[in-house]
Each structure stands twice: as structure tokens, then as C-alpha cells.
Amino acid sequence: MKQNFDNNSFRDFEYIPGMDAWGRAKMFQAYLDDQLAKGQLNYRLVTSTGCGPVIEMGGKKMISLVSNDYLGFTQHPLVKQAAVDGISKYGAGAGASPAIGGHYDYHELLEKKIAGFFRKEHAIIYTTGYTSNSASLQCILTKDDLVILDAGVHTSVLEGCQRVNRKTVRHNDLDAYEHILQLSKGKHPLVLVIIDGVYSQDGDLAPLPEIITLCKKYGAKLMVDDAHGTGVIGKTGRGLIEACDAWNDVDLITGTFSKTFGHIGGYVVAGKEMVNYLKYQSRQHLFSASSTPAALAIVKAIELVDEQPYWMAALHDNMDYFRHGLLGLGLNIGDTQSAIFPVRVGDKIKNARICHAMQQMGVYANQINYPAVSMKDARIRMGVTALHERSHLDEVLNVWSDIKRQFKL
């Protein structure tokens, strides 16, 4: 008889006592087959057109709400041309790591551009946003230090904090932050608080001014990953730090080039000494091949945030319209204040069925289940972009109206 894996998650196959990797892979294959057969697997779906508001999957056109391409820059002609020009001038790859010959003037330019975007002078770039968190933290933290993490931070942050003292705080719970800061004061060479600006699954904001006050009171440093706030929040798209005018109160700003900036890669913006420390001590930066010349696309995208502010205005129109539409249908979207819209479903099987039904109706959204969110907090996550048209959003809202009735939400 076939095993029913509905109560399992990916995490259950990470470690099984006494079983080696091939044994786990075999069991995991059975899990995958079961979930695929039930239409409950929603990872690695193959899209055959570029990132955009409408994509094609399996020969079928669908409205897509799965990208973080907030300003639509993956498709901007000037951004694409900058990548082409970069490749024409320098070639397809960098050929080496920054330590030994793979460091070019376009990397220097990109570091200056992203530092300047955040009104600072110094930045280091990484080849992914993921490593800008995981690798920089592995370099910064020692076993004597303490990190205090919000429960909503990205998995790349967790990876960077694996071997250090770590306390996870209930999402945005200021009393919990204060309690831990109080207990740890003076006990570690470094106490580092790590938060997001905009949280990737809830779309809500960190209470940044209050957290800054607490960090100052208890002598902790602060890191803000604003991957989802950059290009979205703040008068000129500099994220939550701009919105809160906290330019001098954050010790490490991290983020990614894969969302608003339309390409791939990540960065850490900090003071000169810390940036230099990372440039020479962060192994994943130093000894892994550097970004390709196509990264010149990012330089153009950074410029376009200021040169063409109408993309951000279009994004905000869409955010307002979609939020009103979802709330008008009586759906629970929590406290989102960004371009991320999570519709809370609760149960993961129901969530998977809703996601599947939406695809049948021509809407591609993501189902988010444990371990990305807690067990009872499964949700459908949607992201709007500047390129969505009203007709797309109306169509999605119509689908939600059907889904609400069908699944009794």
C-alpha cells in the first residue's frame, strides 16, 4: 500500500537516524511522487517565457504573481541593453574569483553605485543575495557572540548564524527583543540584532525606530535585510531605512540585486573598515568567481529607480488597488504594507488545493507552507509588480472570489 505523506514536510528528510543520504533520497522520492500525484507540489514548476506579469507554463498563458521583479526591470530595455553591452565589452564571465584576478572595474562601479544608493561610501557585492547574508554573517560572528533574530528573517540569515549563540524572537515582538537584550547586556563581545525591513512572507514592516532605540539602550549592533523594501518603500525607494530616516542608526544594510534590480547578486553596505574586513576575510566572496559582466544591468537598474520614478508610482497604484480588492472580498491578508500579499489559509492541504485550483483558472501564485512559515499558517503568497495591468489584477480578484466560495474561506 502506498504511504500517505500529507503530514510530512521537506524538513522530515533532512535527517533520519541511522539512514544515509541515499536512503533518505529514496524516501524523499516517494514523498515527492505522492505530493506530485496529488497536485500538492508547487516547486520548480517550469516556465517557458521570461519573468513578467503574464507567463507561459505547459503551453498555457497565466497571470503570474510569483516574481519579486517589483519595478519590472528584468524586462526594461535599458537594463537588458546594459547586460548585453557588458557582455560585449568584457565577455560572458569574470574568469576568476576577486582574490586572484576576477575583480574588474565594473565590480568597483557596482559597489560604489549600491553604496551611494544607500547614501554611504562603502559596499561589498556577493554573487547572490543569499550569500550576502550567510557569508557575511559567517565572517562577522564568532562563537562568543549572540545574534537576536526576528522569527521572520530569511533562511540565508539562519545559515549565517548556525554556529553562534542565537535567540529567535517572536515576529515584531518588542517586549521579547527587550527581554533578551537586557539579559545579554555585557555578556558577549558582540550582540547583533537582525531584522528585515519588509518581511518576505507577511509583507509587513519591522518596527525599526523602536528596535533602534532598544539596540542603542543595550549596546547592540543592528543589521537590516531590506530585500523586499528596496525599490518599494521610502520616498525614493531606499526602503524602510529611508522611510524611517534611520541612515545613521543601522550598522549593516544587506539586500539583493534579484528583486527590484532585476538581475542576481547581493550586497552589504557598512562602514569602511567592516566592508574591507569582509572583502578580504569573507571566503565565499574572495574565493568564488565574481559576478559576470551582465551585472552592469544592475548599475542601470539602480540609476533607473531615480531616473524613472514612474515605475515605483505604478507599483504603488497596483499595490493600493490589489489590497482594496482583496480586503473587499473579505480575505485575510494580515498586516502587509508592501507589494507582498499573503492570503492566509491555515491548513497546508487546503492551501495546496487552492494553489492548484488557481493555476487551473490561469493564475500562478505560490503556496507557502511549513517550514517557510509555521505549521498552521499556510498561505498563498502573491507579489504585484509595476508591470501588472488593471485587467490582470481584476482577473486575479475574480479568481479569488470563486476560490473563496469554493473553499469556504
Ligand X SMILES: Cc1ncc(COP(=O)(O)O)c(C=O)c1O
Reduced to 3 states (helix: H, G, I; strand: E, B; else coil), residue 172 is: coil
Does 40 participate in binding ligand X (rule CB under 6 A)? no
Distance CA 386, CA 72 (A): 6
Q: What is the DSSP letter of 198?
A: B
**Cβ proximity to ligand X, 202 vs 225, nearer residue:** 225
Does 258 participate in binding ligand X (rule CB under 6 A)? yes
CB of residue 239 to ligand X, shortest distance in Å: 11
Q: Contact, 231 vs 259, CB < 8 A?
A: yes
Binder of ligand X out of 76, 122, 154, 285 (CB under 6 A) = 154
Distance CA 393, CA 83 (A): 30
Sheet of 146-150, strands arranged across: 123-126, 266-269, 252-256, 221-225, 191-196, 146-150, 165-169
Task: Return the range that interacts with ligand X (CB under 6 A); candidates 91-99, 223-231, 333-341, 395-403.
Answer: 223-231
Distance CA 216, CA 222 (A): 9
Distance CA 300, CA 309 (A): 14
**Cβ proximity to ligand X, 129 vs 237, nearer residue:** 129
Q: What is the dihedral of CA 380, 386, 389, 395, to 10 degrees?
A: 0
Binder of ligand X out of 67, 256, 351, 367 (CB under 6 A) = 256
Task: Return the range that interacts with ligand X (CB under 6 A); candidates 225-233, 302-310, 348-356, 375-383.
Answer: 225-233
CB of residue 269 to ligand X, shortest distance in Å: 14
Q: How many CB atoms lie within 10 A of CB 367?
A: 23
CB of residue 197 to ligand X, shortest distance in Å: 9
Binder of ligand X out of 114, 212, 227, 294 (CB under 6 A) = 227
**Cβ proximity to ligand X, 137 vs 358, nearer residue:** 137
CB of residue 223 to ligand X, shortest distance in Å: 11
**Alpha carbon 398 to chain centroid distance?**
28
Binder of ligand X out of 128, 284, 336, 351 (CB under 6 A) = 128
Task: Return the range that interacts with ligand X (CB under 6 A); candidates 107-115, 127-135, 185-193, 272-280.
Answer: 127-135
Count residues binding ligand X (CB under 6 A).
Answer: 14
The pairing of beta strand 165-169 with beta strand 340-346: unpaired
SS3 annotation, 29-66: HHHHHHHHHCCCCCCCCCCCCCCCCEEEECCEEEEECC
Distance CA 74, CA 69 (A): 7
Distance CA 316, CA 311 (A): 9
**Cβ proximity to ligand X, 170 vs 216, nearer residue:** 170
Binder of ligand X out of 234, 239, 266, 342 (CB under 6 A) = 266
**Cβ proximity to ligand X, 53 vs 266, nearer residue:** 266
Binding to ligand X (CB under 6 A): which residues in 276-335? none
Quick note: the x/- pattern for ligand X over 168-207, rule CB under 6 A, is ----------------------------x---x-------
Binder of ligand X out of 64, 74, 133, 284 (CB under 6 A) = 133
Quick note: the x/- pattern for ligand X over 52-71, rule CB under 6 A, is --------------------
**Cβ proximity to ligand X, 160 vs 325, nearer residue:** 160
Nearest residue to ligand X, scored by beta-carbon proximity: 129
Return phi, psi of residue 227, to 5°: -50, -40
Q: Contact, 150 vs 124, CB < 8 A?
A: no
Distance in Å from the first CA to the final CA of the chain: 34
Residues near ligand X (CB under 6 A) are 128-130, 133, 154, 156, 196, 200, 225, 227-228, 256, 258, 266
